Amino acid sequence: MSENYLTLKANGQHTIDIKKSQFICSLARISTKEEAEAFIEATRKANPKANHNCFAYLLGEHDDVQRESDDGEPSGTAGVPILEVLKMTDLHNVCAVVTRYFGGIKLGAGGLIRAYSNATSRGIEAVGVVKRVLQTDLALTVSYANFDKLNYYLQQNTVSVLDTTYAENVTVQIAVDVPDVEATQTAVTNLLAGQVTFAVGEDHYHDVDVPLYRNDHPNAD
């Protein structure tokens, strides 16, 4: 992935009951097809007496890999609804398995579609969503005389501070959104009249919480 994107805050599980049938939505962040398949298999093994373990998953920057399965439910009533919820919520690199324990009352095609959709959407709400923001590690080394001024600037601009090292000078490790690296360097240089040195590190993803939502999902651009 080379862009910001939305995904699950963490792996998790949520259960709903519909007309005596139990629908358990298990959710996981994934990065490969093998991880998705392993998660699906682990969920099956954890529910050996379940009637169905229907699933869907998305992989890749542009959802290049999309898989779904009805696992014995009528065609199009389980896997596709699960997949559509993942797509509508704009999540990426995620796998959802909805396990059903049949309660004796048939729901019909429309009822099944709603049940699997609701189980997935409520599971996502319960687990939470984050935006994965691509950032660059940046080390700023300043004198002790300039440290308070730098620290105040970082606080005022809500810059993520990863670590601070105190030696002959002070080195502050920060994480900056990739497009903002040059602007941050310029701003700090101007602030401290050039009395700062920079060391640009690696790019990495940082998770930023996204408020709970249902249908009005912010995108990850």
pLDDT tens per residue, range 174-185: 999 999 999 999
Cα-based torsion angle of the residue sequence 118, 120, 126, 128 in order, rounded to the nearest 10 degrees: -130
Instruction: Look at residue 77 and give its three-state secondary structure.
Output: coil
pLDDT at 131: 92
Which backbone phi and psi does 62 adopt, to 5 degrees?
Answer: -120, 30
Which two three-digit tokens encode residue 216? 């009005």
Four-point Cα dihedral 119, 51, 104, 23, nearest 10: -10
Q: Is the pLDDT of residue 118 over 50?
A: yes
SS3 state at 67: strand
Strands 94-101 and 21-29: antiparallel
CA distance 123 to 98: 10
165 has pLDDT over 50: yes
pTM: 0.79
The mean pLDDT of 148-164, rounded to a whole number, is 94
Angle of helix 108-127 relative to helix 79-88, nearest 10 degrees? 40
Tokens of 13: 């599980």
Distance CA 154, CA 87 (A): 36
- Domains, the chain: 5-127 (3.30.230.30), 131-210 (3.30.70.240)
Is the pLDDT assigned to residue 173 strictly greater than 60?
Answer: yes
Nearest to 98 by CA among 175, 34, 33, 14: 14
Residue pLDDT, tens place only, 20-77: 999 999 999 999 999 999 999 999 999 999 999 999 999 998 899 999 999 999 999 9
What's the confidence (pLDDT) of residue 219? 38
Q: Residue 74: CB partners within 8 Å, gap ≥ 6?
A: 109, 112
pLDDT at 218 over 60: no
Looking at residue 221, its pLDDT comes to 38
